[in-house]
């Protein structure tokens, strides 16, 4: 049972979970890391947060234009999950034709600096990683 718990813990909670579990057998059922990782690392969520952070408030088709490679379906679903998580706000104006405006929330914009640590690391180390990949390939 303990083994099963460890296993589940590791799978679903990644970084914090395993560090703490390896030190002491704590109850870590609410560890959120994997969850957030999934959100941050899907194809478009972070990018939408960034454009909203940059531009302030945007309408649906404005985001669509800025990220012209995204399909409407994916944009819709991504916006919906971001809204559900409270990272962006959705304002509907009951007009004809309809108008919907999206903006980043306080919690959403607080995520951006956290991501910045990772992007900074990536900028610094990417040359080494590319070199390593090239060397590995021709082996």
Q: Which residues bind a second copy (CB under 8 A)?
A: 3, 6-8, 10-11, 14-16, 18-19, 22, 30-33, 35-38, 40-41, 46-47, 50-51, 54, 66-69, 83-87, 107, 110-111, 113-123, 125-126, 128-133, 136-137
* Total residues in contact with DNA, by rule CB under 7 A: 22
Q: Beta-carbon neighbour count of residue 67 at 10 Å?
A: 16
CB 66 within 8 A of CB 54: no
C-beta of 95: minimal distance to a second copy in Å?
22
- Per CB under 7 A, the list member of 26, 35, 42, 120 interacting with DNA is 42
Query: In sequence order, what are the residues at sequence separation of 6 or more whose Cβ sits closer than 8 angstroms to the Cβ of residue 51?
Result: 58, 63, 66, 67
Stretch in the footprint of DNA (CB under 7 A) among 12-20, 68-76, 110-118, 126-134: 68-76
The angle at the Cα of 97, spanning 93 to 103, to the nearest 5 degrees, equals 40
Q: Kindly give the residue spans of alpha helices, DSSP state H, lying in the chain.
A: 2-23, 33-41, 45-55, 60-66, 72-84, 106-137
The residue ranges that bind DNA (CB under 7 A) are: 42-44, 59-62, 69-74, 76, 78-80, 90, 97-100
């Amino acid at each position: 049972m303990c083994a099963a718990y460890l296993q589940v813990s590791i799978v679903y909670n990644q970084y914090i979970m395993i560090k703490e579990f390896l030190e002491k057998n704590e109850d870590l059922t609410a560890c959120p890391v994997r969850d957030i990782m999934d959100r941050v690392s899907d194809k478009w969520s972070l990018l939408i947060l960034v454009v909203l952070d940059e531009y302030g408030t945007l309408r649906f088709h404005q985001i669509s234009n800025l990220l012209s490679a995204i399909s409407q379906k994916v944009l819709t679903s991504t916006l919906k999950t971001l809204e559900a998580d409270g990272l962006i706000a959705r304002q509907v104006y009951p007009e004809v034709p309809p108008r919907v405006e999206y903006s980043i929330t306080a919690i959403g914009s607080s995520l951006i600096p956290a991501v910045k640590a990772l992007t900074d690391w990536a900028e610094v180390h990417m040359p080494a990683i590319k070199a390593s990949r090239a060397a590995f390939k021709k082996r």
